[in-house]
Amino acid sequence: MTRNKGWGIRARSAGPVVIAAMALLAGCEGVQGAGSPAGDESGGAASDGRAVSPLDNPDGTGPGLASVTGESDRAEAVDLITKVTTKGRGPKTGYDRDEFGYAWMDTADGVPLARNGCDTRNDLLQRDGQEVRFRSGSDCVVVAMTLDDPYTGTTIEWRKQEAAEVQIDHVVPLSYSWQMGASRWPEAKRERLANDTLNLIPVQGRANSAKGDSGPATWLPPDKRIRCAYAVRFAQVAVKYEMPVTPADKRMMLEQCGG
């Protein structure tokens, strides 16, 4: 085993993958924000204990997305969300993924893990995966791992042959950011947003596809335990990039944390 570049230990052995639970959803629930306040319902697999609260992980270099619990933490979450500015969602005219640089570039300067010799997607799989296995001869390309998916509360035994089973979610979708002002940003700033560990979480592919480019008012993670944490992470990205959210999204974010 060798020490990872900034977040822990890389597992190099090809030992067995330990599955904490296997509860893949038969179909992702596109949970609507309205009428879906934060709660304590169990979403399935128990956390492995590695996931970090977004309040304790302001740069996104820690793994996962742990629940925000406790009166003081929720008060801190509400205070952060309150700082987010609002405006109406603009048109999608001119949006293209390439406006944010090519996918998973390692050269987006100004974000954690840039220029470490490994592309952003594989960096994120290593950050959040357990029992990570690499392609022969590589210490970058992940070919197998176990993921505790924060969005659904399930545990996924992932193999590269079924790559789409785990996708990297942009917490603040790139299309959403485009409509909220990123269309006028310098290209370098858009590249940072697209590759910033703060804005990226490996999750179940079906949940990510169901989310699309929705804001919190129209989509929230199926696991209600994580919704305040998701709102906090959305707010952290918005504050960092001085990007507004819609009034409806801000209201729903506050609601998830009891604000």
User: What's the pLDDT tens digit per position in 246-258?
Assistant: 999 999 999 999 9
128 is a domain residue: yes
87 is a domain residue: yes
Please give the distance of CA 257 from its chain centroid, rounded to a whole number: 18
240 is a domain residue: yes
Question: Can you tell me the mean pLDDT for 51-72?
Answer: 97
24 is a domain residue: no
pTM above 0.85, yes or no: no
120 is a domain residue: yes
33 is a domain residue: no
**pLDDT in the model for residue 48:** 59
17 is a domain residue: no
Number of structural domains the chain divides into: 1
- The residues facing 3 across adjacent strands are 9
Q: Model confidence over 113-140: pLDDT tens digits? A: 999 999 999 999 999 999 999 999 999 9
160 is a domain residue: yes
Q: What is the mean pLDDT of the chain?
A: 86
Q: Which structural domain, as residue segments, surrounds residue 200?
A: 41-256
